[in-house]
Amino acid sequence: MGPVLGIAIWRLKCALNWAMVYSGAAHRYEWRHYFGDSNAITPGETPEPVLKMIALAAGFRSGMRVLDLGCGRGTALAYWSMLYGIHPIGIERVRSVAHAARLLLQSIIATSEILTGDFFGIVWPEVDAVVVSTTCFSAQDLDQLMHRYRQLPTGTVVVQISNDVPMNELKCIWRGSHRFPWGNCPISVFRCV
């Protein structure tokens, strides 16, 4: 790891530690449950190798507008912002968690956007890529998500983590998997056609 990357990761970890302290007890159960995950940026977050794999497979680059649906505390967006220069946009349902994401991302990039609410009920901003983990989605949720994907402009990249749902309307450009604490998980990258 070069010195610039090392400094970027150190700054990110400092910002994340501050955000974790600030956001308080809301996610302590999560941190304890995943405390042993040494690949995570912070305990309870998506492991760093998965974030890197997603960024490379989706072609994240400087200035790319990336929407993270259910962004949590914004750690994935923070990571991609610092290392790939993306413009981070997140939607998070839980107000206190969205607030923590806002604080974290604004400490890194002032133009970041975090919207609060159900991502099926919010108009999505114009973006180059959408990232979503569909681990707990019902069949109805997946249908709604597919409907939203159909409305995206041609060329938009869609990264879907967890459910290996057939998406015939989208062109698959990469498929992989990662072993999370809860089991093996498919990760697919699509392009809207």
* Highest CATH level, class, for 3-192: alpha beta
pLDDT, tens digit, for every residue of 87-113? 999 999 999 999 999 999 998 888 899
The pLDDT confidence band at residue 38, using thresholds 50, 70 and 90, is very low
* Residues 143, 138: Cα–Cα separation, whole Å: 9
End-to-end CA distance of the chain: 37
Q: Which stretch of 20-24, 29-33, 66-70, 104-108 has the lowest confidence by average pLDDT?
A: 29-33
pLDDT-derived band at 80, boundaries 50, 70, 90? very high
Provide the token pair at 170: 């989208």
Q: What is the pLDDT of residue 19?
A: 43
Distances (CA, A) of 119 to 3, 23, 41, 168: 38, 22, 25, 22
Residue 107 CB coordination number (10 Å): 15
pTM of the model: 0.78
Q: Where are the domains of the chain?
A: 3-192
The mean-pLDDT minimum among 16-30, 46-60, 72-86 falls in: 16-30
Question: Mean pLDDT, to the nearest integer, of 29-38?
Answer: 35
Residue 13 has pLDDT above 80, yes or no: no
Among the ranges given (34-38, 57-61, 163-167, 187-191), the one the predictor scored with the smallest mean pLDDT: 34-38
Query: Taking residues 41-47, what's their average pLDDT?
Result: 61
- Encoded tokens for 28: 């302590």
CA-closest candidate to residue 73, choices 37, 48, 45:
45
Cβ neighbors of 141 (< 8 A, separation 6 or more) are: 120, 134
Q: Cα(157)–Cα(161) distance, rounded to whole angstroms?
A: 13
- Is pLDDT above 80 for 60? yes
Higher pLDDT, 103 or 22: 103
Per-residue pLDDT at 32 exceeds 50: no
Residues in the chain: 193
Is residue 181 over pLDDT 80?
no
| Rg for the chain, CA atoms, rounded | 16
Q: What is the pLDDT of residues 149-176, one digit of tens each?
A: 999 999 999 999 886 666 777 899 999 9
